[in-house]
A and B are shown apart, each in its own frame.
Chain A
Amino acid sequence: MGIETENKEIEIGIRENAKKLLSEKQVDVVIGYSEGTVPLSSTPIIIRKEEDVDKLVWNNLCYINIARYLAPLMPQLCDSEGNSLKIGIVAKGCVGRAVNILATEKQVNLENIKMIGFNCNGNVNRSRIDLEIGEKEILEILIVDNDIIVKGKDWEQKFPYDEYINELCKVCQVKSPSATAESCVGECQELESIHDEFADVAEFETKSAEEKWAYIKEALEPCTLCYSCRQACPVCYCNLCFVDQNLPVWFGKTTELTDVIIFHLIRAFHLAGRCVACGACSSVCPVGIDLNIITRKLEEIVKKRYNFTSGLSAETVPPMMDFSMDDEEEFMLEED
């Protein structure tokens, strides 16, 4: 089935389910994606009335992880007394995972959430397309059959879809939300674990320490520490981020290499076992930094050591909230 056809079916499914949930008053609002006003983007939208469901779209340009609006809960999703409304979420796999993680961490009550699941077929890699198009203005972007057609004023270029989606989408194993039937309508699944070889991480690990440092240094060179990655992340919801603390000041906030690398290192550490590999951090970066290899490494660590994949269920305890006498300690210093 071509991507174009898949998208149309997904859209129909989303709109039907949204309409059903709203008309049966199972939800008060539905959050999803709508058509963007500039190419290579989409706007999240809150639908309050049945007649507006046709504004919901799925066009492979839906980068924001909508679970981001659940913690802290957006004022538009609360009633006049500040309690959560009943919310329907258009959930691709990673959005569903994020909702599960937030439920585990008691940031969200699953009784108020209904996921409108569908089988996600990926998002277009916007920074890669921008890079290849260069200094020409993109006026339109379409998915036709299995190709991405990018149009300008008097030019057109075609890209094969499978090659030009986000790297994380290429290796995604949880395309539709993993949730129970009570919290999900549409396409859902109940996964207990996934199987992943993490070949890309293994390949990165063959580099020497110097090569890894050089790679990370080069990738993070344009970083301006704007914190968009942190703001877009659905599981980064701390009231006071570690980097903003000033009693004491732990780490610097300048654009020196040390400060930049440390911010990303510690944010990655805080996401261990919680990151849902949605790629929103890379998609929202204003200078186009793509650190999906770190996301993959985080997933690999918890899978390898604790056989855990984040967000498959709201019941399992994440590895950083747990411990065991039998944990591996091969990294510890021992006598010869």
Chain B
Amino acid sequence: MVNVGTPSGEPCVREPVERCYCAPGLGARLRFTRRDTGKVRRRTVVVLGLVALAVVAVACAPNASQSALEPAGPYAQKSFDLFVPVFWVAVGIFVIVEGLLLLFVIRYRHRKNQTARIPAQIHGNTRLEIAWTILPTLILAGVAVPTIATIWDLAAKPTGDVLEVNVLAHQWWWEFDYPGQDILTANELHIPTGRPVYLTLCAVGFGYGTPVPSDGGPPAPNACQTGPPDGQQPAAIGAAVIHSFWVPQLAGTQDVVPDLTNHLTIQADEPGVYQGQCKEFCGLSHAYMKFRVVAHTPADFDRWVAEQQAPASAQVSGPAAAGKDIFLQTCTACHAVAGLETANGQPAIANGAPNLTHLMSRQCFRGCTLETNDENLARWIADPRSFEAGSFMPDYGLTSDQIDQVVAFLNTLE
């Protein structure tokens, strides 16, 4: 018996090997003894059981609301409709290849009660090589055709009644600009159902170390350049880095790249709230840069638009009035509220932080990681860094009374 794998110290003895000659090619007969059949059957049952368990586990997964496996609109459906058949083809290949592996491992294992044999030294089979080169090629060609068709389909700009929205990615929150409706909001992208929404994706923030051009030209080409109508440069807070806009139930992702103007079309079939978040690592608080897409029926959407277009209500009293004073002295350095004037009589314009005009109409804030309620707002203002690592929002050192007043004022921004 040839020594294989024994601890050293045992003698290494060679005996003449027994003849075993099998016809080359696939002529080898698959012989099963009764004992072999039993073992194979048992292993098969175990493997199938595990597979079933896995399938059940997946199917019974808790309802994940950011799942690519639950498309809720035609664009996500296209990705899904391509994924499913390819997945099953992959499963089929998996079963065949791993099955063969398992089969060979069982069938050709050296059994202790057999004398050692050196099997026929078969070097290969050219026909097989050709076959298993051509067959995968054909399968892949079959996969490639619908893939390419869908690439081009998704790249095309939608036609018809399209809503256009600019998505501005900041470190670390999402801003939404509706140029046709003159709305600037954050954290929640409201859309009507049944209409394609054509998004223009822009990364906003500082470049690095560049002097402003001497002729005063624009600092960077950016299709989403927003700002006050008088052409003032919007300030940038945080660096312009790559982000990625992903709301899996409504579409696959596209990156938001500082020097590119990327587009993404999404569409929701049903009203509802769809989760999304930034998918491309963008710095300290990448994990906390989320958003929601809120789909309304067309009538509800029109109502939302009208509400958003109204300026902030001017009626404040009591603690809210004190809060408004504090707000105008500190917060308007970065935050905008339409219809308000700052302490020195300037309009409170967009200045690098979310527009708060209708803050109370949004269910979430802080990169959509906090629900909009008094307690969260107070804690956020008190210590931004505890909710957003590396936050650019300063801690103004307000007393808790002052914070309560500001929160009271914020409550009027509906």
Q: Determine if chain A interacts with chain B.
A: no
